[in-house]
Structure formats: structure tokens, C-alpha cells
Structure 1
Amino acid sequence: MKNRSSTLREAIEEMIAIGQLPPGAHLDETVLAGQFGVSRTPIREALIQLASMGLIVIRPRRGAVVAEISPQQLVEMFEVMAELEAMCARLAARRMSPQEHQSLLSAHHACEQARDAQDPDAYFYKNEEFHALLYSGSHNVFLTGQALALQRRLRPYRRLQLRVRDRIASSFSEHDGIVNAIIAGDADAAMTLLREHVVVQGQRFADLIASLPLLATMSGSTQSTNQS
């Protein structure tokens, strides 16, 4: 069972991911404690956990703020994310079992339903589940942990990408090729397709940077968090 600080950490992480707490936002322990109906101690512990993940920055005598990423850092982080996921795809194509293939197909179908419903929030969560199955399908615990850690760091920005026009349709189409390559056991194709799916460059990067102000205005109901 998760302790209270871990549950709070996940709730605050979700608020960051959906833009309720945008980059640069101040995190007041007293305000958060009142919002969640707890004392400041578990809030402080949750903030320390978030700082260790790189999602927030705790400044001595100045409090905590949601971490900001420069455009250069953002593209570098997406480059690393693309390589980590490409490694996962290559190993998953070699190691996933038939049962895991069925789980991946089910997650792919859930993404399709969210796409057809034109629901970017639903697609965001189903997309995370899809990628998490690719990580675990690598059957490399260390690699899976590294991929999940960086995925968490980039959650607000990966979600924001889905707000760019036609990105959900493109994302699902790219998933389709990845799924087919993995089920066919084509490790090289799976690796290449997933790398191209994640990396942001050219027009995709320009669209992402132009959309960054939306992080301050994006809204959505705060999920209770075990969806990442």
C-alpha cells in the first residue's frame, strides 16, 4: 500500500502533467496542505520526491517551483527519450510473449477509441499505457526504470504535443507501424519507428515550442494518478 506522501506526490505530479501547475508555478506547502486536507509534513515529503524526479526545484528559503525546461534542454531530453524507447522497442520485438502481444493490441485499440472520440486527454492516458507496455516488454528492468523516469519528466510536454493539430491521428498511425513490427519480430523496424515516433525535430519541434504558452492555460480534471 502506498503511503500518504507517495499518493500526494502522484496527485501533484498529475496536476503538473495536465497544466494545472505550469512551469514556474510556486508550490506553497500550506496551500497544498489545505487543498488535500493533510498536514504540511506529507506535502513536504511529496515535494522532496518530486524534486528527486526533476519535476520541481526546491530553493533554500524561497520554496518550491515547478521546473522549467529551456527549448534546448527540451529537445535534448526528447532525443534521449527517443533512444531509450527505441531500445525498448528493439528488445520488445525479440522478447515479448504472445500474451504481451495481446495486451499491446488491447492498448492500441484503446488509443484508437480515444482517437475516434477526439478526446486528447483520454488519448494521453491510453498512450502512456501503450508506451509502458513497450517498456516492460523489453524485459530489461533497468531500462524500463530509466524510460519511466524520463517519461515522467516529460509528461507535460508529451501531453502538450497531443494538442497540436492532427498529432493524435499521426501518433496512432505511428503506433500501428510499431505494433506490426513488434508482433512480426522485426527488431530493427520497431526500433527505427519508435525512435521517429518520439523524437521532436523540424516542424514538430517548432509546433511544440509555439504551444508552450498553453501549459499555463491547459485545464482538466485532476486524475487520482495511478495512470502513469
Structure 2
Amino acid sequence: MNLIKDLPLSIQVSKKIEDDIIFGHFLPGTKLDEAELCERYGASRTPIREALKLLAAEGLVEIRPRRGAIVPEVNPMTLCEMFEVMAELEAMCGRLAARRIQEDEKVQLLHLHKRCEEYLESNDSENYYEMNRQFHFQIYAASHNTFLIEQASSLHKRLHPYRRLQLRVNNRMNNSFAEHNEIVQAIIGGDETKAATLLREHVVIQGQKFTDLISTINTYTKQ
């Protein structure tokens, strides 16, 4: 099953626009004209508008009064800070999940981990990311802390274009799955401290990892 093709048209279009923004087709400051987007993606105005709303909720597009949708500037420092906060939120989710996860949630987490492995083996980064996203949301849910789940989910959605892009950097998909494997063992084994540490390290991008991500964005932007 192809998860991407099974998604609603508006989400499929949002992912295409997302790629075109991150990879530099639509540069910061560009006004996203609905008619041009309809022609480019072969979609009607309704899914285009829905896609733009989704991207606006993630911070990848700004919808301004009387100006429509605009591609905002990407601030590397803000991006780094957001990843730092995301890492701490995920660490909290991992710690609480290791303490509170239910048996049915363990089964689901293992299932999602297995699906990630299948997409890794087929070198399918798009569907791997989609399953990876569900994997992380399952960990949030297993924390059984409603406020934390809301905050982690919200920031995850803001960062997801860049987390998705990371999978295309320096064998990241293989490393991501190896890290998932340790995370699963720690959570199911009830090791709160290890689960928190592993998730923090899994998400935070420092030093070379952050340089690689920004370099990749800049490389595509200049093409």
C-alpha cells in the first residue's frame, strides 16, 4: 500500500507544495498564486486552498489579508531552537510512555516500527516518513498526558517538513530506524531514563547534523 497516494488530494498537494518550498522552487517572499498552483499540480482551487491552510498551520506558508499566501523567510536560529524544544518534549513523552504504556499500545508501537522497517528496505523515504510520523505520535499517546500530547503534536506539525527533509541527508533513514529500535526496547522495557535520553538525542539537531540540514536546504534553494 502506498500511504502517500491513499491520502486526501489536499494533503497530497500540500506535500508537493512543501517540497517546492523547501527545495527552492518557491523562494522566501514568493506569493503563491492559486491559479498557477492549480495548473502546476493539476488540481482545482478547493484542494489548493485546503493545502495552503494546512501549510499555514505548519508555519511553512503565511496567509496575509489582501495578499494571499506568501512563503516566509526561514530563520536557521529559530529552526534550531524549535528542534531543541521538540527534543525535550519528545524526551518527556518517552519517559512517561515507558512508565504508562499499555499492552495494546506496545503492540501498536511494534507494528509501526515493523512498517518503518519495510519502507526502509524498499528505500521509500516518503512512506517511511509517514510511518515514522505515526510512530512518534504513538509514543506521545502512550504518555497519557493530554497537555503534553497536544504540545508535542503541535510542534511536530510545525517541524515536520524539516524532519521529512532530514531523511534525505547522509543515510539518515537507516540511522533513524536504528535509533527507533533502541527507543522501542527502552519504552517497552520500562526504562524511563533511557527512553528519554534516546528520544532527546534522536530529535535534537546539533553541530554537524544541523549544518547538514541547512546546507541541504540551501543547496536546493540555489538550484
Q: TM-score range by the shorter chain?
A: 0.7 to 0.9
Stretch of structure 1 that moved more, 49-58 or 142-151 = 49-58
Query: Please, what TM-score do these two structures have when normalized by structure 1?
Result: 0.80
Offset of residue 133 of structure 1: 0.7
What corresponds to 1:189 in structure 2? 194
Amino acid at match of 2:15: E
What corresponds to 1:10 in structure 2? 11
Distance between the aligned counterparts of 1:73 and 1:169, measured in 2?
27
Amino acid at match of 2:34: E
Offset of residue 172 of structure 1: 0.9
Distance between the aligned counterparts of 1:112 and 1:49, measured in 2?
28
Query: Please, what TM-score do these two structures have when normalized by structure 2?
Result: 0.82
Secondary structure of 1:68 counterpart = coil
Pick 1 or 2: higher relative contact order, CA cutoff 8 A, min separation 6. 1
Matched ranges for 1:47-126 at <5 A: 47-48=52-53, 50-126=55-131
Q: Is the 8 A contact 1:178 1:190 kept in 2?
A: yes
What corresponds to 2:5 in structure 1? none
Judged with a 3 Å threshold, the aligned counterparts in structure 2 of structure 1 residues 15 and 168 are, in CA distance, closer, same or farther, namely: same
Percent identity of the aligned residues? 50
Judged with a 3 Å threshold, the aligned counterparts in structure 2 of structure 1 residues 134 and 27 are, in CA distance, closer, same or farther, namely: same
Distance between the aligned counterparts of 2:221 and 2:201, measured in 1?
28
Judged with a 3 Å threshold, the aligned counterparts in structure 2 of structure 1 residues 49 and 183 are, in CA distance, closer, same or farther, namely: closer
Q: Is the 8 A contact 1:9 1:50 kept in 2?
A: no
Runs of 4+ in 1 over 6 A off after TM superposition: none
Distance between the aligned counterparts of 2:106 and 2:219, measured in 1?
36
Runs of at least 5 residues in structure 1 that lack an aligned partner in the other structure = 1-6, 219-228
Amino acid at match of 1:13: S
Amino acid at match of 1:10: I
1:20 counterpart = 2:20: yes
What corresponds to 1:144 in structure 2? 149
Secondary structure of 2:20 counterpart = coil
Q: Is the 8 A contact 2:112 2:134 kept in 1?
A: yes
What corresponds to 1:203 in structure 2? 208
RMSD: 2.6
Aligned residues: 209
Offset of residue 122 of structure 1: 2.3
Distance between the aligned counterparts of 2:140 and 2:74, measured in 1?
24
Distance between the aligned counterparts of 2:71 and 2:12, measured in 1?
14
Runs of at least 5 residues in structure 2 that lack an aligned partner in the other structure = 1-7
Secondary structure of 1:20 counterpart = helix
Stretch of structure 1 that moved more, 191-200 or 144-153 = 144-153
Amino acid at match of 1:132: F
Distance between the aligned counterparts of 2:131 and 2:184, measured in 1?
15
